[in-house]
Structure 1
Amino acid sequence: MVFHVAGKPAALFLPSGTLAQPLALKIHCDQRNRTSIGLHPTSHLVLHEQGGYQKLWGLNTRLLGDTQKVLSFADLKVQDPDHLAALVLELPMREIGGQLPAWDDLEAQVNWARQHTIAVHIDGARLWHCPAYYQRSLAEISALADSVYVSLYKDIGGIAGAVLAGEADFIAEAKIWSRRAGGNLISFYPYILAAEQGLEDNLESITEAVTYAQKLGPLLASIPGVTVNPATPQAALFHLHIDAERQALNETIDAYAEQHEVVVLSKPRAIDEHGKSICEISVGRSTMEHSVEFWLEHLRTCLDNCSRRA
């Protein structure tokens, strides 16, 4: 089951997405005798991998689109496609609240890449969220791309690990690069067994989680000082921009959890351009054990406490 979730002919288990993605992009670049990859400014490869795509894999990047907005065909059609080997599409885009492009726009982006012999790679760390929004199967979504990466611990609950999927010849090359990069651990079975169990336990519930998030987000936006991004969630995650100082909010979250035994918010992950704290809401099975009204009341009370603390 792990090796067929993306609907591609072949797949490879790898210990991390930080290995899987630049490995895939290296192959696409070599096949086209180019070294540049197109990335949104909020891509994990840009923000969280210490420049590994360049330092370890010899790739160059071209940043595409607006940091605060989902990548669009309009962003691509003004680009010079020369020297670009691969386009990375993150679905959904975690750093901007799990936003997704409209299906028609996504197809236009893929067609633009195809017209210019640019490979399409899906950063699908949370690809499991997309069928609910697009009303299409994982296989249909993955068919847009030459290669697809999915995480086996985000949402799924595995220990660690990733799957890189694509055509058989692509995966044969990926196995060679995995060996070169030290990705072929002597045994993967604990990770694979945990992933199998996680898929069985959690995969079907993610569609329900997306629907739940779409109800929860607008409800939380009714709290003064809270803005939801996006206004109507498109995935089983979204961001709250909260008009509260970061340290005060951190302290309030801890105190509230200790007093009520309810973790109502994750710690702020960033500060926006207006100085508001950004907290991520990720909906899973434990969240859905309670009504959306339960979370509304707890968040309202928690933020009232934060205001008094400030």
Structure 2
Amino acid sequence: MTDERAELARRFAAQRGCGTMLSGIRPPSVREQLAVLGESLTGDPVPDFYGEGGPVEELEGRVAELLGAEAVAFFPTGTMAQQIALRYGAELTGRDGVGLHPLSHPVLHERDALVLLAGLRTVRTTDAPRNPTAGEVAALDEPIGTLMLELPLRDAGFVLPTWDELTAVVAAARARGARVHLDGARLWESTVHLGHPLAEIAALADSTYVSFYKSLKGHSGAALAGDAELVRYARAWRHRHGGNLFQQWPAALAALAGLAHELPRLPDYVAHAKVVAAALATLPGARVHPEPPHTHQFRLWLPHPAEALNEANLALAEEERAWFVGGWRDTEVPGVALAEVTVAGPALELDADRVVDLADRFLRRLPQS
């Protein structure tokens, strides 16, 4: 086993042993996940075959209902779904430019797939750490076929626009003759800040992608929603991309379980994230962003090296069965590290005082300067 794999195994074991967790969830074992699939079954459904029928079709119908969409296609990954949606926009408009943020997922996390596989060009909408404004879209110096908006913009700190800002930027894109696509990997929890239900948010766009594992605790998978013409096109290109898996019912059942059990809890997570963030902001040298959080996830900075913070968190988990925050990484500021905090079910048990107490126990494990 490599050092990296050994470290991942240690972290997994430490998290599984924790009775108290501030950020994230206790990772389920394979056996526990299989039990969830069994609980999701109603009757004895037939499996899907190459994306048709069974739980996959049930899931597509449920998502179409939630998003108010004419049609939905299930995909094994959001990367694949979004490339196809953006390609469709280019073919319809005759413009290969895609307006998107330089911190968006296709730019940072997909190894230039949008360019190399879909033949599209990226057009930066803004360098500010937020989604673009209507004025910035109107001022773009080249035409775009599609404006892609990531809601929330994860790598800027899970930030969202206001509803008025969102509707204005959509209108600006329309005025330029562009389509609008929503990267809604975390759209489920964005309804609280935007103040509108999922269907009203999705209705602003021509296409919307949602993820089933980021907030809903599914195994994998994504959905692309839009009109019937888009979805017919998406199914053809899904096949070309190798996304027509023989059977995907395990992922579909896990997603249905997430829609049933996690989706209704997300507003509580978002509300409690504000309590947690306010408590963490009182720690020595700490900074949180955004303050208050827009969703149930936010960024936390502490004035210590990442290695020391990660080791302190693992030691706390292994010795006290308590998980503070993991996944620290160093920043461009020497001696300051950053982590993403996810407030989920376990954190609801911690009020502000218990958050501060857990943080103090964590900080005491850091080397003293």
Q: How does 1:118-133 map to 2 (within 5 A)?
A: 118-133=178-193
Contact 2:93–2:145, Cα closer than 8 Å, also in 1: yes
Partner of 1:24: 85
Cα gap change, 1:71 to 1:270, in 2 (>3 Å): farther
**Distance between the aligned counterparts of 1:131 and 1:121, measured in 2?**
17
Q: Which has the larger radius of gyration?
A: 2
* 1:287 paired residue among 325, 336, 347: 347
Matched, 1:182 2:266: no
Q: How does 1:137-176 map to 2 (within 5 A)?
A: 137-176=197-236
Partner of 1:7: 68
Q: Cα deviations across residues 9-47 of structure 1 (Å, max 9, x unaligned)?
A: 110000000111111000011111111101111101011
**Distance between the aligned counterparts of 1:69 and 1:104, measured in 2?**
15
Structure 1 residue 2, shift from structure 2 partner: 3.7
Most deviating of 212-221 and 21-30: 212-221
Unaligned runs of 5+ in 1: none
**Distance between the aligned counterparts of 1:26 and 1:253, measured in 2?**
43
Partner of 1:55: 116
Contact 1:21–1:123, Cα closer than 8 Å, also in 2: yes
Q: How does 1:93-132 map to 2 (within 5 A)?
A: 93-132=153-192
Q: TM-score, normalised by structure 1?
A: 0.95
SS at match of 1:154: coil
Unaligned runs of 5+ in 2: 1-61
Q: How does 1:190-201 map to 2 (within 5 A)?
A: 190-201=250-261
**Distance between the aligned counterparts of 2:245 and 2:66, measured in 1?**
22
Q: Cα deviations across residues 256-277 of structure 1 (Å, max 9, x unaligned)?
A: 1112111100221452556521
Matched, 1:43 2:82: no
Structure 1 residue 70, shift from structure 2 partner: 3.7
**Distance between the aligned counterparts of 2:363 and 2:129, measured in 1?**
25
Q: Cα deviations across residues 90-125 of structure 1 (Å, max 9, x unaligned)?
A: 111111221111111111100001111111110000
Q: Which runs of 4+ in 1 moved over 3 A?
A: 272-275
Task: Say which structure, 1 or 2, has more relative contact order (CA 8 Å, 6+ apart).
Answer: 2
**Distance between the aligned counterparts of 1:146 and 1:2, measured in 2?**
15
Q: How does 1:64-79 map to 2 (within 5 A)?
A: 64-79=125-140
Cα gap change, 1:269 to 1:246, in 2 (>3 Å): closer
| Count of residues in Structure 1 that have an aligned counterpart in Structure 2 | 308
Amino acid at match of 2:316: Y
Q: TM-score, normalised by structure 2?
A: 0.80
Partner of 1:256: 316
**Distance between the aligned counterparts of 1:295 and 1:99, measured in 2?**
23
Amino acid at match of 1:191: A
SS at match of 2:316: helix
**Distance between the aligned counterparts of 2:359 and 2:260, measured in 1?**
31
**Distance between the aligned counterparts of 1:230 and 1:274, measured in 2?**
22
Amino acid at match of 1:20: A
SS at match of 1:219: helix
Cα gap change, 1:275 to 1:28, in 2 (>3 Å): farther
Structure 1 residue 67, shift from structure 2 partner: 4.8
* Identity within the alignment, %: 36
Contact 1:265–1:281, Cα closer than 8 Å, also in 2: yes
SS at match of 1:244: coil
**Distance between the aligned counterparts of 2:221 and 2:329, measured in 1?**
23
Matched, 1:232 2:322: no
**Distance between the aligned counterparts of 1:71 and 1:255, measured in 2?**
41
Partner of 2:32: none
* 1:204 paired residue among 229, 254, 264: 264
Please tell me the root mean square deviation across aligned C-alpha atoms, in Å. Answer: 1.5
Structure 1 residue 146, shift from structure 2 partner: 0.5
Q: Cα deviations across residues 217-240 of structure 1 (Å, max 9, x unaligned)?
A: 122101111100012111010000
